[in-house]
Chain A
Amino acid sequence: MLLYVARRLAFGLILALLVTMITYGLLSFSFDSVARTLAGTNASAETIDGIKSQNGFDLPLPVQYFQWLGGIFQGDFGYSLYSGEEVGNAIGVRLTVTLSVVVLALLITVCVSVVLGLLAAARGGVIDRIVQVVIMTGYVFPALLIAIALVYIFAINLRWLPATGYTTITSDPGDWLRSVILPAIVLSIGGIANLTSQIRGAMTDELRKDYVRTLRTRGVPVSSILIKHALRNAAGPALTVLSLEFVAMFGGALIIERVFALPGFGVYSFAAATSGDIPVVLALTVFSVMLVITVNLVTDILNGWLNPKARLV
């Protein structure tokens, strides 16, 4: 088991390196225009070159990359080209906002999906059909529209929840919850559709398997079969879907934040990207890649723990 974890960890780190390398390479094409923008509209060629060398843009690309990488390992993410703010701090604060929404959305998704998926597979009949309608509804409407609709209903019409703004969990948990619950629900709808569909399908297949019947003949109670046996075997692919959902939700959060005016990752990255603030953009990439890799690693480990055969990979 330990060997398996070590392997997945190494795999993840290599991927992280490759992704950052490629992103750096892609972004390098825009260094020129960024320098131009920084210098101003009527700057001379010397000023532009000066700015380039000041930021190390004129060095050969691999050198730039490794310098930057070295800084990262020391915790130095550089400074914003525009505001001069220290990037690491700025990102950290914004990241917590986005993550709190995403994590809450994931929790909601998991709880609702497991219950719905189990019920649909175990009971069948009318319940199954209802669950299928729920799944369809989740697929059909884009998150953007749901977000706007929810804002309209709950915040503007009913005035139950704030339409915009964010309160940190440390200052007031109640207010915090009120400020993130709507965006979390919006994000979770797509996830619920996906995960419920996955669990329902996997559980239905699992319940048809021979060993389930044999367990019944031993007198093992149905609840035990469902949760202890079938769900555990069906969990593998569901975990994969969950990790993909995390990535999707993270992306979705970027858009939702605009609707709910949350000071999160999305707004920040959009501003940085459109103004060409390279150090910020690079740091953003690192953070998100590490996030994705961590989630994948956790999923792999969980899968290895649940399913002994998976440890062979």
Chain B
Amino acid sequence: MSANITAVVDPITPKDAVRESVTRKLLRDPQALIAGSILLVIVVLGVGSPWFASHDPNAASLDAVNAPVGTPGYLLGGDQSGRDILSRLLLSIPTSLFTAVIGVSVAVIIGVTFGLIGGYSRKTVQTSTEWVFSLIQTFPGLLLLIVLVPLTGGDYRITMAIFGVLLAPGLYRIVRNQVLSVKNELYVDAARVSGVPDSRILGRHILFVVRSPIIIAAAFLAGACIGIQAGLAFLGLGSTLVPSFGAMISDAFANFYTDPLQLVWPSALLGLLTASLVLLGNSLRDALEGARPKSGSASSRGTTRQAPQNTAPSVALLDVRDLAIAYPGPDGKPREVVSYVSFTVGAGETVGLVGESGSGKTQTAFSVLGVLPREAIVTRGSIQLGGLELLDLSEKDKRAVRGRRIAYIPQEPMSNLDPSFTIGQQLVEGIRCAVPGLSRREARATMMGLLERVGITDPDRVFSSYPHQISGGMAQRVLIAGAVATRPEVLIADEPTTALDVTVQAEILDLIRELQAEMGMAVLLVTHNFGVVADICSRIVVMQSGRVVEEGDVRDVFASPTDPYTQDLLSSILDEGTVRLDPPRTPEPVEAQK
């Protein structure tokens, strides 16, 4: 094979974080280490309990009745029947361990098997497994275990096996949902097209994704099983000859006023056991699934913002100067994604903010709106709207500007509408927030009129529809109607047509152009599509890696771009004339590998 078919071999830039193995992450987590060690100690004690225990757990001796701690031969004392507490304690551990093993194994085997089947199979098999597991879930859990005592004879092993069956639906749901989400991933389709048999797809592609939730669930379930069995033993379920924490607690509870200390030992050990299982499960979750999404790190509003270099009073309607936006990097230090960005948008102008992904154009647009995520810090610059400094406003004042003076049209119409409310409800809410004092009837009338204006032929129906009942093109028109309802001074359109079909795109662009002419708005259009820029913009600002590399009149920049990046971009646009000239060739002789 000839080398270098393409002109340039793409250099590979490894991402910042190197992936650690799961075990290493666990070993570095103090929570995992402590919980794991405690668990290990308990398991060892339990396994070796037949040798460690000095007395038979049921051997009662009159001398030892309520013996205090430290009595020779009865290290932790004796209970009200004269049995050695330490021996009973040690021999209760295997009971709990068995409980966990039986309960979790049954739940995992049933839940995972049927979760895989239910998720991966055809509709009919899916529905039947659904029914079976809904049925199991309807059984009144603990009550059932009690109710089946005549059947089980109180044997904790059978009881726990039944409990495992009752726990299975939870695991089934988890596994099934994971399988369903992965089953439709493109890499599974690709494997099917590659001829990979179903068994390997299930094993390598699907099970792999599923294993972490199973492992985590197993840890939590083990804790739950132990807790439940202790509760049942506390109630008196099962043979009194089998030592268990629950039975010991029950005895000690009855004996509370005589010797309260007897309650401490079994409670402490039971508590340690369940606690370490739960904490271990938590660490496993962090290690396997990565840290939970932080609901917003503490804002670094302590850092003051640097002023822009140009402090002359602004003339244009929207004036962005020396803007810099930073995010905390993986090492905690702020990393700039936008640096020294300056441009203006005048009233009635349409400016195209152009760049590829990662250029920072969307971040810039969000900073004008003031809707950057919590972690973002504006480290430098100023954004002025008609002379008003937006970056200095309080949240309350920003809200007064947003929606009223600056409006926004998003990229993806469907995901930008609340799925639980009708279109009408959302439109009315939006305009009533922007124009206080507007009555519901007035708001409705205004929005209906606007829906017609943006080209929706059946405004009544759309008004009472839910987002999932209308098309993408219609949804975008709805969002445009909502945005221009207050006759804003500036309209920020973030790739408003990228998610739309080309024919719909042309109509939406026409609409934006008309509305702009009608209302005299300034439009900042964020896009990566030069065709859109050529269609609707009068000026263009080109961004690359967080900086402005070129700006100017649209005709000038298109005709003779000065910056090499801009030239590069413009030349990679597939031009209108190129057509495939070479005819299809006859295929090569079959290769040896086949």
Contacts and interface: CB of A to CB of B under 8 A. Distances in A.
Interface of A: 15-16, 18-19, 22-23, 26-27, 29-30, 33-34, 120-126, 128, 136, 139-145, 148, 152, 200-201, 203-205, 207-211, 213-222, 224, 229, 232-233, 244, 247-248, 250-252, 254-255, 258-259, 265-266, 269-270, 273-274, 276, 281, 284-285, 288-289, 291-293, 296, 306-309
Nearest to A257: B235
B220 to A, nearest CB: 8
Contacts of A220: 403, 429-430, 433
B419 A309 contact: yes
Interface stretch (B5-13, B405-413, B545-553): B405-413
A254 B143 CA distance: 8
B418 interface: yes
Given A148-B249, A288-B143, A258 B420 contact: no
A9 B297 CA distance: 45
B292 interface: yes
Given A124-B374, A217-B407, A143 B231 contact: yes
B341 to A, nearest CB: 20
A150 to B, nearest CB: 13
A125 B298 contact: yes
A307 B371 contact: no
Interface of B: 134-135, 137-144, 146-151, 154, 220, 223, 226-227, 230-232, 234-237, 246, 249, 253, 260, 263, 267, 270-271, 274-275, 278-279, 282, 292-299, 369, 371, 374, 395, 399-400, 402-404, 406-408, 410, 412, 415-421, 429-430, 433-434, 466, 468, 479, 482
A241 B358 CA distance: 40
Contacts of B399: 219, 221
Given A126-B298, A141-B274, A291 B140 contact: yes
Given A141-B275, A142-B231, A33 B150 contact: yes
B235 A276 contact: no
A308 B369 CA distance: 31
Contact of A140 (B135, B260, B275, B369): B275
Contact of B147 (A125, A128, A215, A284): A284
Given A122-B295, A232-B420, A307-B420, 15 more contacts: A26-B148, A33-B150, A140-B278, A141-B271, A144-B231, A148-B253, A214-B410, A215-B430, A216-B371, A219-B404, A220-B429, A224-B433, A255-B234, A269-B143, A273-B149
Contacts of A244: 137
Contact of A201 (B279, B292, B433): B292
B402 A217 contact: yes
Nearest to A240: B173
A142 B227 contact: yes
Given A140-B279, A247-B140, A269-B143, A219 B433 contact: yes
Contacts of A285: 140, 143-144, 147
A121 B142 CA distance: 33
B408 A214 contact: yes
Contacts of B430: 215, 218-220
A219 B249 CA distance: 58
Contacts of A251: 140-143
B99 to A, nearest CB: 13
B143 A128 contact: no
B298 A145 contact: no
19 contacts: A15-B134, A19-B135, A30-B150, A125-B297, A136-B282, A139-B220, A139-B278, A140-B275, A141-B271, A144-B249, A214-B417, A217-B371, A217-B403, A217-B407, A219-B399, A254-B143, A265-B143, A273-B148, A307-B419
Contacts of A34: 150
Contacts of A124: 294-298, 374
Given A19-B135, A144-B230, A284-B143, A213 B274 contact: no
A259 B250 CA distance: 9
B263 A148 contact: yes
B295 A255 contact: no
A304 to B, nearest CB: 11
A250 B140 contact: yes
B78 to A, nearest CB: 21
A276 B433 contact: no
Contacts of B138: 15-16, 19, 289, 292-293, 296
Contacts of B270: 142, 144-145
A308 B469 CA distance: 10
Nearest to A28: B151
A211 B227 contact: no
Which one of B154, B220, B236, B419 has the highest number of Cβ atoms from chain A below 10 Å of its Cβ?
B419
A121 B295 contact: yes
A269 B147 contact: yes
Contact of B274 (A140, A218, A266, A288): A140
A203 B143 CA distance: 34
Contacts of B249: 144, 148
B151 A211 contact: no
Contacts of A229: 418, 420-421
A254 B402 contact: no
A247 B395 CA distance: 44
Given A124-B296, A126-B298, A218-B434, A142 B274 contact: yes
Given A269-B143, A292-B140, A274 B149 contact: yes
A254 B134 contact: no
A139 B223 CA distance: 9
Contacts of B369: 217
Contacts of B395: 222
The 5 A-B pairs of least Cβ separation, nearest first, read A251-B142, A219-B403, A124-B296, A30-B150, A288-B140
A45 B293 CA distance: 68
A266 B479 CA distance: 56
A221 B433 CA distance: 8
Which one of A29, A219, A220, A252 has the highest number of Cβ atoms from chain B below 10 Å of its Cβ?
A219
A214 B479 CA distance: 9
A147 to B, nearest CB: 10
A258 B234 contact: yes
A145 B141 contact: no
B144 A23 contact: yes
B147 A210 contact: no
A144 B410 contact: no
A218 to B, nearest CB: 4
A220 B403 CA distance: 8
A288 B144 CA distance: 9
B434 A219 contact: yes
B491 to A, nearest CB: 11
Contacts of B134: 15
Contacts of B412: 210
A2 B211 CA distance: 40
Nearest to A122: B295
Nearest to A11: B134
Given A124-B294, A252-B142, A308 B466 contact: yes
Contacts of B417: 211, 214
A23 B293 contact: no
B416 A214 contact: yes
Nearest to A144: B231
Contacts of A125: 296-299
A20 to B, nearest CB: 10
A175 to B, nearest CB: 24
A155 B253 CA distance: 14
B386 to A, nearest CB: 17
A148 B141 CA distance: 23
Nearest to A276: B150
Contacts of B271: 140-142, 145
A233 B419 contact: yes
A273 B150 contact: yes
B529 to A, nearest CB: 20
A275 B230 CA distance: 21
